[in-house]
C-alpha cells in the first residue's frame, strides 16, 4: 500500500483499504450475494467500483455537508451516482427536493427506477409489541401481517424497500413463510433499541436531523410520556441546536458527554447548545458510562433514558448493556442452501467440513 501511495502520489483511506480487502475476500469465497452499503455519498465512494444488480436509496436528508453539499439536491446527485448504465434503482420515500436530481441521473443512465408508493407500498402498519405488524404490497406479491420487532415507523418503509429490492434481485415473488420468519428475526442494534426496562433505556444512533425526527416520532407514537433523560454526544461538523430540535418538549434533562472519538464535539459546548435549544437543564458527564448512570439515577425505575447523537456514543453504551442484548433466531439455520457442486475446482470429491466438525466429539 505504501508503494502504491508513493507511486500514485495519493493517500489511501482506511475505508478504501477495508473495502478492497472485503471485495477480495468476497471474490475468493465466490459469494453468491453481497449486500454492500455505501460509506459516504456514493459518486466517489470506494464501493462504487462495483457493478450492482440492484441499487438502493432508502432516503435522503442533510448529512456530511462538508463532503456532499448543503442542499438536498446536491446530496441526491452524489447518492444516485451509484446507479450504473442500464441499472436498476429502488428508492424509499424521497423528499421532493431530491426528485429532480434522481430523475436526471436515471434518464441519463437509462436506468429502471422502482419507486416507493408507486411500484410498491406499505398497505397497512400498526404498532405491535416491540415494533410493528405490517402488510406490504410488493412488486410481485402481497405479504400480509409481517411482524417486525424493531421500533420506528420509518423501519416499516425500509422493510418495504428491502422486500422490493429482494424481489427484483431474484425476479419473482418471495416465499411468504421464509420472509415472515426472516422479518420477525430482524434486529437493528443501536437503532431505537430498548436495552433496559426499569428505567426504559433506548440506544439510538441518530446523528442527523432525519434520524432525530425519527427518534422523536417514535418516542411520541410508541412509548408513554416518560420525561426522557437524554444522554447526548455529537461528532463532526454538526449544528447541535438543529440536530436536537425535534426532541423539544420530550426531554427533561440533557447529560452531555464525549465518546472516545477524536471527532467528538466538546461536551460542555454540546450541553450549552442542547440545553438552550430544548429549554432544559443540561449537565456535563466526563464519560459515556457516567452519563448513563446519572441519567438512570435521575429517571428512576419509572422513567426513561435515550442515548443518541453518535454511533460512537452508542457503541460505547452497548458495553453497559451487553448481557441483555442477545436475541437468537432460527431464521438462519432452518433453511439449508442448496448445493449444486459435488466436486471442487480440481475435480476432487466435495467435502463438507462442517459435517466433519459435527462428527468430532
pLDDT tens-digit map of 197-241: 999 999 999 999 989 999 999 999 999 988 899 999 999 888 999
In terms of DSSP bridges, do strands 88-91 and 55-57 run parallel, antiparallel, or are they unpaired? parallel
pLDDT of residue 360: 38
pLDDT of residue 84: 92
Q: Which residues of the chain have pLDDT under 50?
A: 326, 328-343, 349-361
Q: Which of 189, 142, 175, 217 is nearest to 335 (CA)?
A: 175
pLDDT of residue 72: 87
At residue 26, the 3 state secondary structure works out as helix
pLDDT of residue 323: 56
Cell of 168: 427484483
Phi and psi for 97 in degrees, rounded to 5?
Answer: -65, -15
CB proximity list for 254: less than 8 A, separation 6 or greater: 229, 230, 232, 271, 274, 275, 278, 280, 281, 282, 283
pLDDT of residue 353: 41
Phi and psi for 302 in degrees, rounded to 5?
Answer: -105, 0
What's domain 193-324's architecture? Alpha-Beta Complex (3.90)
Domain boundaries defined on the chain: 35-115, 193-324
User: Left (φ > 0), alpha (ψ -120 to 50) or beta: where does 41 sit?
Assistant: left
pLDDT of residue 52: 92
pLDDT of residue 345: 53
User: Left (φ > 0), alpha (ψ -120 to 50) or beta: where does 86 sit?
Assistant: left
Amino acid at each position: 500500500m505504501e508503494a502504491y501511495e508513493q507511486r500514485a502520489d495519493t493517500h489511501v483511506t482506511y475505508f478504501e483499504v477495508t473495502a478492497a480487502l472485503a471485495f477480495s475476500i468476497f471474490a475468493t469465497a465466490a459469494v453468491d450475494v453481497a449486500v454492500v452499503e455505501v460509506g459516504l455519498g456514493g459518486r466517489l465512494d470506494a464501493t462504487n467500483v462495483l457493478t450492482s444488480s440492484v441499487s438502493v436509496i432508502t432516503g435522503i436528508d442533510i448529512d456530511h455537508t462538508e463532503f456532499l453539499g448543503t442542499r438536498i439536491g446536491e446530496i441526491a446527485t452524489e447518492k444516485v451516482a451509484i446507479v450504473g448504465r442500464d441499472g436498476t434503482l429502488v428508492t424509499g420515500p424521497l423528499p421532493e427536493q431530491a426528485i429532480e436530481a434522481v430523475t436526471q441521473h436515471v434518464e441519463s443512465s437509462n436506468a429502471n427506477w422502482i419507486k416507493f408508493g408507486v411500484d410498491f407500498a406499505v398497505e397497512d402498519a400498526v404498532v405491535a409489541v416491540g415494533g410493528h405488524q405490517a402488510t406490504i404490497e410488493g412488486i410481485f406479491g402481497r405479504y400480509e401481517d409481517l411482524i417486525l420487532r424493531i421500533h420506528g415507523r420509518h423501519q416499516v418503509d425500509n422493510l418495504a424497500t428491502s422486500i422490493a429490492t429482494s424481489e427484483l434481485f431474484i425476479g419473482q415473488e418471495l416465499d411468504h413463510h421464509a420472509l415472515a420468519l426472516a422479518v420477525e428475526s430482524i434486529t437493528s442494534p443501536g437503532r431505537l433499541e430498548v436495552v433496559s426496562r426499569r428505567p426504559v433505556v433506548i440506544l439510538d444512533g441518530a446523528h442527523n436531523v432525519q434520524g432525530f425526527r425519527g427518534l422523536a416520532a417514535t418516542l411520541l407514537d410508541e412509548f408513554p410520556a416518560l420525561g426522557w433523560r437524554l444522554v447526548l454526544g455529537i461528532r463532526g461538523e454538526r449544528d447541535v441546536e438543529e440536530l436536537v430540535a425535534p426532541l423539544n418538549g420530550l426531554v427533561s434533562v440533557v447529560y452531555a458527554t464525549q465518546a472516545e472519538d477524536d471527532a467528538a464535539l466538546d461536551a460542555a459546548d454540546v450541553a450549552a447548545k442542547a440545553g438552550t435549544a430544548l429549554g432544559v437543564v443540561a449537565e456535563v458527564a466526563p464519560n459515556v458510562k457516567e452519563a448513563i448512570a446519572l441519567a438512570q439515577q435521575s429517571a428512576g425505575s419509572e422513567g426513561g433514558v435515550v442515548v443518541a447523537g453518535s454511533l460512537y456514543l452508542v457503541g460505547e453504551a452497548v458495553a453497559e448493556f451487553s448481557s441483555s442484548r442477545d436475541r437468537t433466531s432460527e431464521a438462519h439455520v432452518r433453511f439449508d442452501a442448496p448445493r449444486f457442486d459435488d466436486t471442487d475446482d480440481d475435480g476432487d470429491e466435495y467435502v463438507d467440513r462442517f459435517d466433519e466438525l459435527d462428527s468430532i466429539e
